Amino acid sequence: MSFHERLTVNGAELVVEAFGPQDGPAMIVHHGAPGLGSRSEPKRSFGPFADTFRVIVFDARGSGESSDHEPFTHAQWVADVDAIRAYFGHERIVMAGGSYGGFIALEYAVAHPDRVSALVLRDTAADTAHDHLAVERAKSTDRTVIPQWAIDRIGTGRFESNEQLREYWKAILPLYDHQHDPAKDAAKLAATRFHYRTHNAAFGQNMPRYDLKPKLPSVTCPTLVTVGRHDWRTPVAASETIAELIPDARLVVFEQSGHSPQLEEPELFQRTVRDFLAEAGVV
């Protein structure tokens, strides 16, 4: 049974969708790229799991079709996840997230360990230690020439308008996939809703203070850490750090992927996640 509503969550209007059996185990998936991302990617990536799971996706406050109600903080985004969990009546969930959504998934697991049955992470990080590598890759790529003004804004949250954020997104999109397809980049650009203030808050205010490494040993739920071998933004080393710090975490590297193995190697990604959840006893 599907669900598609605009819900009032902690004062914000969030567009929320749910798929799969209402009595199935719950999975909440958080999208990445605050101010750029939306529920469309998690819906596409985790929709196939609705044959077994109650898959819940949503546009976070300040992104997609949801309202721009501040604050745009990790604590608020975590509180929104928990409110959505409570709305659907689930005591425990599989928490999943990729890229910046992985930051929120990690933060949720740290804040609410009793509510997470398993954690699925994709191309994410526990701190900003590897951000300089993204700048280096942007400078050295042979796919396109990225303007210096765009390179200077990677991970900074310094945008003056939605139009400027759009031009930045257009400039860096060629870096994301292992096999570059300009047509896919154009489609992603056309489908994106821009919220530059959200993006500025995420990267200009939240990220300079972001370092979850000291708290990761406290995560006790089964954890799967996935990453594309050729990820320019959150490299394999960032995932290795997470896997080393979370007890018994499993690390899987997708050899033919960049930042999005869930889209670049979907069959392998889905099989990997299903096998992990089955072994974790969630299914």
Q: Name the token pair of 269.
A: 């990604």
Q: How far is CA 278 from CA 91, 114, 249, 272, in A?
A: 19, 19, 15, 10
Grade residue 1 by pLDDT with cuts at 50, 70 and 90: low
Residues of the chain with CATH 3.40.50.1820: 3-129+204-279
- What confidence category does residue 2 fall into, taking pLDDT thresholds of 50, 70 and 90? confident
pTM over 0.95: yes
Segment 7-19, tens digit of pLDDT: 999 999 999 999 9
Question: Rounded mean pLDDT of the chain?
Answer: 97
Q: Which CATH architecture has domain 3-129+204-279?
A: 3-Layer(aba) Sandwich (3.40)
pLDDT tens digits for 163-177?
Answer: 999 999 999 999 999
What whole-number percentage of the chain has pLDDT above 90? 99
Write out the H or E segment, with its range, that includes residue 7. strand 3-9
Which tens digit of pLDDT belongs to each residue from 249-269? 999 999 999 999 999 999 999
Task: Report residue 275 as tokens.
Answer: 């096998």
